[in-house]
Amino acid sequence: MKKFDLNIDRMLENWDAFHAIREIIANALDEQILTGTREIAISHDGDGQWHIRDFGRGLRHEHFTMNENQEKLGHSGLIGKFGVGLKDALATFDRLGIETHIRSKFCDVSFDRSEKHDFSDVVTLHACISDPSDQAFVGTEFILKGCSIEDIEKAKRLFLRFSGEESLEKTQYGEVLRKAGKVSFIYINGVRVAEEENFLFSYNITSLTAAIKKALNRERTNVGRTAYSDRVKSILLASSSEEVAKALVDDLGNFGSGTLHDEMKWTDVSVHASKITNTSGNILFLTDEEIMDAPRFVEEARASGRQIITIPSTVKERLLGQVDTEGNAIQDLGHFVSEWNDCFEFKFVPPEKLLQTEKSIFDMTGRLAELVGGIPSRVQSVKVSETMRPETGSFSEACGLWTGTDIIIKRSELTSIESYASVLLHEIAHVRSGETDITIGFERELTSFLGMVATKALRTASADTKIVAISNNDSCIPEIGNTMQQLQTANSDPTPAKKAGFWARLLGNT
C-alpha cells in the first residue's frame, strides 16, 4: 500500500454530506457522458453502505492531484472542470466521519489521517492506495458508510437526471423544463444552481455565458438571477414548441390580475410566444382597453370559436404589423374587424322585385324612421339583401348592417313589421351613436329611441277613440292599464331589438 498526501486538513465547514455526495455523482455523470457508457448506478447494500458507480475508464491515483481537467474543459456539456470537486468531497466525508472506499481496475483506495512526510506535527488526509482487488472491474465505484438515505436523496435532487422534471424543448442554449412542483429550478449542465419562486418553467442552461462562468462558485449554489436571466431569455426566444408558447401566452391571461410569471414580464419573450401561438389561427389578441371598447367584436370572436388572449399594450405595440413564425398576419382587433367586414356577401333586391307583402312593409321605412326623428342624413339609402354572410362563414349571422354609407337589411326580416322595424331602428341607433353593439353609447341611443317611440305611441293612443271613450265607458281603463304595463315591460327588456320591435308594433296597433 502506498499513501498519497491529499494535502487537506479541515475545510468546507459549511458543507453537509449531500454536498460531497453531489460531487461524486457529478464526476460519475461526466464520465458517463465522456465515455458513452451506461447509466450510473446508485444503490444500497445490506451492510448499510451506499454505492455510487459509473461504468467508464476507472479512477487512477493521479486523479487525486488538484488541477483543471483539460478533457473536461474542452467539452461544453460536462459538470466538473476545476479539479477540486473530488478532494472537496473527500475532505467533507473525513470531517463528518463517513467512511469512504474506492474501487477501480487500477487500484483500491481507502483514507486516513497521517503525519505529513518529514513534518510529524502536521496531520493531513491521505489516500491509501493498494493494488486492485479485481483487475476486470469496470468503471469506478465509491462505497460510503455512515451517510443516510436522506443525504443520498438530497444529493440526487440537485441533478436534473433525478429531478423528475420533463424536458419540453431543447435549444442551442439549453432546455425548457416542465417543473415538477411549485418552485422552479435553474440547472447548469444538469446541476441545480438556483431556485425561482415565480418562474413558469424550470431551465437547464447548457451554453454558459461569461457572467454565468464568473458567478459559478465552488459550491455551485446561490447563483444570482442577474447571471443567468439573459441565457433563460435566449432559451425562450430560441424555442419553437407550440406547447411552450401556449403555456407562456396562456400566462398572459394573468396580466390583468397582476399574477404574471416573471418570464412574461420580458416583452421580447411575450412577443415571441405570441407569434408562435398565432399560427393556430384560432385566437385573438386584445388589450384590456380593447375588450372594454369593442365588446361587439369580442362577442363575435367568442361566437366564432376564437380564444381571447389578453396582452399588455407594450406587447400589442410590438406585434403591430408583424407576422407569425409561418408568415401569417397577427390576429389582433384590426385584423379581426377587417375579416368581419370582408365576410359579408350581398345580393341586393330592388324594391320592385319584392313580394307585395314585403314591399308593403318596406314602404313603411320612412314612417318607422320618423318614430326616432327620421333617417339620418348620413344614410344614403336603405337596401334589402337576399344574403348577408355565407352560411359556411365562421361569424354569426347578421340581420342588418350599417356600412358607413348605407343600411342593409336581410330580406328575411320583411316577414313582419315588428321584425323589420326592430332591425331598422337598431341600425339607425348605430348611425346616430357611432357606436358598435354592447357599448354604453349604443345603449344610450337605444334608450333615447325608446323614449321617442313611447311619446309618439302615447300621443297616438290619446287620440284614439278608445281613449276618448274613457269619459263615457269605464271599461276602457283596464285596456289602457294593460298598454302601460306593456310599455313598462318593453323598457325593461334587455334585448335592444325586442325593445324597438315592441314600440313599432305598438304604434302599428294604435
CA–chain centroid gap for 257, Å, is: 14
- Can you tell me the distance from the alpha carbon of 150 to that of 474, in angstroms, rounded to the nearest whole number? 95
- Can you tell me the distance from the alpha carbon of 127 to that of 79, in angstroms, rounded to the nearest whole number? 24
Q: Is the pLDDT of residue 32 over 90?
A: yes
Per-residue confidence band for 414, with pLDDT thresholds at 50, 70 and 90: very high
H helices within 253-364, ranges in order?
267-278, 288-293, 295-303, 313-319, 333-342, 356-362
Phi and psi of 123, rounded to 5°?
-110, 125
- Can you tell me the distance from the alpha carbon of 147 to that of 153, in angstroms, rounded to the nearest whole number? 11
Mean of all residue pLDDT scores within the chain? 83
- Mean pLDDT to the nearest integer, 166-190: 94
Q: How far are the Cα atoms of 41, 455, 462 from residue 467, in angstroms, in the given order?
A: 100, 15, 5
Per-residue confidence band for 477, with pLDDT thresholds at 50, 70 and 90: very low
Q: Is the pLDDT of residue 304 over 90?
A: no
Phi and psi of 53, rounded to 5°?
-135, 135
Q: Is the pLDDT of residue 121 over 90?
A: no
- Can you tell me the distance from the alpha carbon of 269 to that of 266, in angstroms, rounded to the nearest whole number? 5
Dihedral of CA atoms 5, 10, 13, 17 in degrees, nearest 10, equals 50
Q: How many CA atoms lie within 13 A of 51 on its CB side?
A: 15
3-state secondary structure of 368: helix
Nine-digit cell string for 42: 446508485
Least confident of 226-240, 255-269, 437-451: 437-451
Cβ contact 239:245 at 8 Å = yes
Cβ contact 17:92 at 8 Å = yes
Q: How far are the Cα atoms of 104, 163, 215 from residue 140, in angstroms, in the given order?
A: 5, 24, 31
Least confident of 35-49, 292-306, 313-327: 292-306
More confident residue, 463 or 76: 463
Nine-digit cell string for 5: 498526501
| Cβ neighbours of 204 (radius 10 Å) | 23
The DSSP letter of residue 265 is G
- Can you tell me the distance from the alpha carbon of 152 to that of 66, in angstroms, rounded to the nearest whole number? 25
Q: Which amino acid is at 282?
A: N
User: What is the model's pLDDT at position 481?
Assistant: 47
pLDDT above 90 coverage of the chain, percent: 41
- Can you tell me the distance from the alpha carbon of 202 to that of 174, in angstroms, rounded to the nearest whole number? 11
Q: Which amino acid is at 199?
A: F
Phi and psi of 5, rounded to 5°?
-70, 115
- What structural domains does the chain harbor? 2-156 (3.30.565), 163-234 (no CATH), 242-333 (no CATH), 351-509 (no CATH)
Nine-digit cell string for 240: 419553437
Residue closest to 479 by CA, chosen among 497, 454, 506: 506
Cβ contact 107:60 at 8 Å = yes
Phi and psi of 468, rounded to 5°?
-60, -30
Give the tens place of pLDDT for each residue, 363-404.
999 999 998 899 999 999 999 998 886 554 455 567 888 888
CA–chain centroid gap for 88, Å, is: 43
Identify the helix (H) or strand (E) that includes residue 153: helix 149-156
- Can you tell me the distance from the alpha carbon of 3 to that of 111, in angstroms, rounded to the nearest whole number? 9
- Can you tell me the distance from the alpha carbon of 343 to that of 13, in angstroms, rounded to the nearest whole number? 74
- Can you tell me the distance from the alpha carbon of 163 to that of 498, in angstroms, rounded to the nearest whole number? 61
Q: Is the pLDDT of residue 491 over 90?
A: no
Cβ contact 108:102 at 8 Å = yes
Q: How far are the Cα atoms of 124, 129, 140, 161, 445 from residue 60, in angstroms, in the given order?
A: 20, 10, 9, 26, 90
User: What is the model's pLDDT at position 343?
Assistant: 72
Residue 252 exposed, middle or buried by CB count within 10 Å (0-12, 13-18, 19+): buried
pLDDT above 70 coverage of the chain, percent: 82
The DSSP letter of residue 40 is P
| Cβ neighbours of 137 (radius 10 Å) | 16
| Most distant CA atoms of the chain, gap in Å | 137
Per-residue confidence band for 7, with pLDDT thresholds at 50, 70 and 90: confident
Q: Is the pLDDT of residue 478 over 50?
A: no
3-state helix, strand, coil in the chain (%, to 5): 45, 20, 35
Least confident of 240-244, 418-422, 484-488: 484-488
Identify the helix (H) or strand (E) that includes residue 92: helix 85-96
Least confident of 12-16, 188-192, 436-440: 436-440
H helices within 434-470, ranges in order?
440-463, 465-468
- Mean pLDDT to the nearest integer, 341-368: 88
Give the tens place of pLDDT for each residue, 238-252.
998 889 988 988 887
User: What is the model's pLDDT at position 507?
Assistant: 52
Q: Are strands 400-402 and 307-310 parallel, antiparallel or unpaired?
A: unpaired
User: What is the model's pLDDT at position 72?
Assistant: 59
User: What is the model's pLDDT at position 475?
Assistant: 47
CA–chain centroid gap for 428, Å, is: 42
| Cβ neighbours of 47 (radius 10 Å) | 7
Task: Quote the pTM value.
Answer: 0.65
User: What is the model's pLDDT at position 258?
Assistant: 77
Q: Is the pLDDT of residue 93 over 90?
A: yes
Nine-digit cell string for 241: 414548441
Q: Is the pLDDT of residue 107 over 50?
A: yes
- Mean pLDDT to the nearest integer, 34-42: 95
Nine-digit cell string for 136: 476486470
Phi and psi of 419, rounded to 5°?
-65, -40
Most confident of 18-22, 121-125, 423-427: 18-22
3-state secondary structure of 391: coil
